[in-house]
Chain A
C-alpha cells in the first residue's frame, strides 16, 4: 500500500512538472515578448523596457521557467501587472469561494447519484428505473449554466428564497455564505449526478452478472444481500473512475457558473485577467486548476487501492 502510494505520488509530481512546462510554453513563450503583449501595440518602447525589467524578462526563457516553478513551490506566484499586488493574495481570496463551491457540488452530486443509481439498478426494468433513467437522460443534456439561469428565475426572482447572485463573504457567517453557494452548487451538481447515477446503475448491473454473485446466492444470500454485501464495493471501481474524470468537468463548470451568480471566484478572476492581458495571473490560475485536477486523480488512485486489494500488492 505504501509502495503503491509512493508510486502514485511520484507520478503526481511528474504530471505537475510536465503541466507547468506546457502552461509556461503556451502562455509565455508562444506569444513572443510578454511585456509588449501585455501593454498592447500602442505602448512606448521605454515602458515596455521597464516592464521587461520588472517581470525579469531579460534572462533566458528556461531560467524564467525555473524561477517561476521554484517560486510557486515557496508560495510566490509573482506580482499581478494590473493590480501590482502579489498573485498569491488575489488567488487566496478567490479560491475560498471556488473550492468550497466545487466540494459542495461534488458532495451534492454524490448524495443524489448513489441512491438514485442503486435504486434504479435494484428495481431494474420497473417504472422506478425508467423514470430515474429518463430524468438522468435529461440531466445529462442540460447545460449547467442554463440550468443555473432557470434556478435564478424560479427561486430567486419568483419565489425570492435565494438572492440572484453575489457572495456575502465568509466573515458574514457560515450559513449565509453556504446559502449563497447553494443555487450554484445545485446547478453544478445535477448534471454531474445524472452521469454518476447512470454509471452507478450500469456498474451495479454488470457486477450482479458476475460469477461471484452466483456464488454468494448459492451460499443463501438474497438478491438484495448479494447486492449490498458483494456487488456494491466492486461496482465502486468504475464509479470512482468517473468521479475522478468528472472533477475536471466540475472545475470547468464552476468557473462558468461563477459568471451566472456573479461570484468573485477564480473564474471571474481569470476572465478579468484575460481581458486585462494580465498573463501572470492567467498562468497561475490555470496551474492551480490543473493542480486540483491532478490531485483529484491522485486521490482517486489511492481510493482504488482502498477498494481493491489487488492493487495493494502483498504487504
Chain B
C-alpha cells in the first residue's frame, strides 16, 4: 500500500509507466481490433499523408501506418520480453551458483564463459545465426537473449557475493542451511529489486536491438510487421514521404523512453536506502 502511494508520487515512474502501458495496451488491442487490416494491400491509397481516416498516413502499399505500429508493438514487446526472460531464467541461477561457490572451478567456468559471450554483441550473434539458419524473428530473440544471459549472471553474482559475506547469511549457515536454500531464501529476495530495475533496462535495450536487427534484415521477416523493418522500407521514400519514417521511429523512442523512466522510478522506489529514510 505504502509502495503504491510512493509510486503515485514518483513522477518519472508515472510518466514512464503510462507510456509503457500505452504501447503494451496497443499491442494487446491489436489482437482484437486494428483500424485497418495490415495484411491487405490498397495500392490506390498508397503514400497518403496523415488524415482523419489514416491517422498516421499510409505506406507504399496503402497499408495504414497506425495499424502497422499497433501490430509492430507486438513483435517488439514479444521479442524483448522473451529475450529478458531468457536472460533472467538462465543468467540469475548461473550468477547465484557462481557466487555460492566463489573461486571454485564452477565459478571460474561461469565467469570466463560470461566474458566470452560479452565479447559478442547481440548483432554479431545474430549475424552468425543468420549466416547459418537464415533470418527470422526467432534468431533475433535468441541473439538478444544470449546477450542478456551474461548481463544478468554478472549482476547477480556481484550482488550475491556481497550478500554472502553478510552476517545474516553466516547465521543461516550456522543454522545448517545449504547453499541452495540460502541462495533462494536469503540471496534472491535481497537482489530482486536490482533484477527488476535491470530487467526494465534490458527490456528497453531489447526493443532497440530488435528494431536494429529488423532494420538490417536480421530480425522479423515479412509479413510479420515490425518497427525496424518499417523504418528500413521507408528509407528510400524518406525525401517525399517522411511520415513513413517519423511515426515508427517515434513509437520506438516513446516506448524505450517510457521503460527507461519507469526503470529510474523503480530504482528510487525500491532502493532500500531511500525507503529507510522515508519510514
A and B in direct contact, judged by CB atoms within 8 A: yes
List chain B residues, Cβ under 8 A from A31: 132-133
Q: Known A137-B261, A140-B256; judge A145-B215 contact (CB<8 A).
A: yes
Q: Are B119 and A260 in contact (CB under 8 A)?
A: no
Interface set, chain A 230-258, CB cutoff 8 A to B: 245, 248-249, 251-253, 255-256
Q: How far is the CB of A19 from chain B (nearest CB, A)?
A: 6
Across the interface, A290 reaches (CB within 8 A) one of B124, B208, B260, namely B124
Interface set, chain B 104-152, CB cutoff 8 A to A: 112, 115-116, 118-124, 127-133
A229 to B231, CA, bound (A): 47
List chain B residues, Cβ under 8 A from A274: 127, 130-131
Across the interface, B249 reaches (CB within 8 A) one of A146, A273, A277, A297, namely A146
Q: Are A146 and B119 in contact (CB under 8 A)?
A: no
Q: Are A145 and B231 in contact (CB under 8 A)?
A: yes
Q: Are A153 and B242 in contact (CB under 8 A)?
A: yes
Q: Are B116 and A22 in contact (CB under 8 A)?
A: yes
**Most A Cβ at <10 Å: residue of B120, B129, B133, B254:** B120
A104 to B116, CA, bound (A): 27
List chain B residues, Cβ under 8 A from A43: none
Q: Are A15 and B115 in contact (CB under 8 A)?
A: yes
Across the interface, B119 reaches (CB within 8 A) one of A30, A37, A138, A297, namely A297
List chain A residues, Cβ under 8 A from B256: 140-141, 143
A255 to B217, CA, bound (A): 12
Q: Does B212 contact A (CB under 8 A)?
A: yes
A293 to B37, CA, bound (A): 44
Interface set, chain B 211-238, CB cutoff 8 A to A: 211-212, 215-217, 228, 231, 234-235, 238
Interface set, chain A 252-278, CB cutoff 8 A to B: 252-253, 255-256, 259-260, 267, 270-271, 273-274, 277
**Most A Cβ at <10 Å: residue of B124, B256, B257:** B124
Q: Does B75 contact A (CB under 8 A)?
A: no
Q: How far is the CB of B274 from chain A (nearest CB, A)?
A: 14
A15 to B118, CA, bound (A): 11
A31 to B239, CA, bound (A): 42
The 8 A CB mask of A15-47 against B (1 = contact, 0 = none) is: 100110011001100110000010000000000
Number of A-B residue pairs with CB-CB distance less than 8 Å in the complex they form: 120
List chain A residues, Cβ under 8 A from B249: 143, 146, 149-150
List chain A residues, Cβ under 8 A from B132: 26-27, 30-31, 37
The residue on B at minimum CB distance from A296 is B119
Q: Are B130 and A290 in contact (CB under 8 A)?
A: no
The A interface is mostly helix, strand or loop, or mixed, namely helix
Count residues of chain A with CB under 8 A from any CB of chain B: 48
Q: Are B127 and A256 in contact (CB under 8 A)?
A: no
Q: Does B252 contact A (CB under 8 A)?
A: yes
Q: Known A137-B260, A256-B216; judge A143-B120 contact (CB<8 A).
A: no
List chain B residues, Cβ under 8 A from A30: 132
List chain B residues, Cβ under 8 A from A111: none
Q: Known A30-B132, A153-B239, A260-B235; judge A252-B245 contact (CB<8 A).
A: no
Q: Does A152 contact B (CB under 8 A)?
A: yes
List chain A residues, Cβ under 8 A from B208: 143
Q: Are A293 and B215 in contact (CB under 8 A)?
A: no
Question: 6 pairs across A/B with beta carbons < 8 Å?
Answer: A144-B212, A145-B215, A149-B238, A153-B245, A256-B216, A282-B131
Binding site for B on A (CB under 8 A): 15, 18-19, 22-23, 26-27, 30-31, 37, 137-138, 140-146, 149-150, 152-153, 157, 245, 248-249, 251-253, 255-256, 259-260, 267, 270-271, 273-274, 277, 279, 282, 286, 289-290, 293-294, 297
Binding site for A on B (CB under 8 A): 112, 115-116, 118-124, 127-133, 204, 208, 211-212, 215-217, 228, 231, 234-235, 238-239, 242, 245, 249, 252-254, 256-257, 260-261
Closest 5 CB pairs of A and B: A252-B123, A141-B256, A141-B257, A146-B249, A248-B121
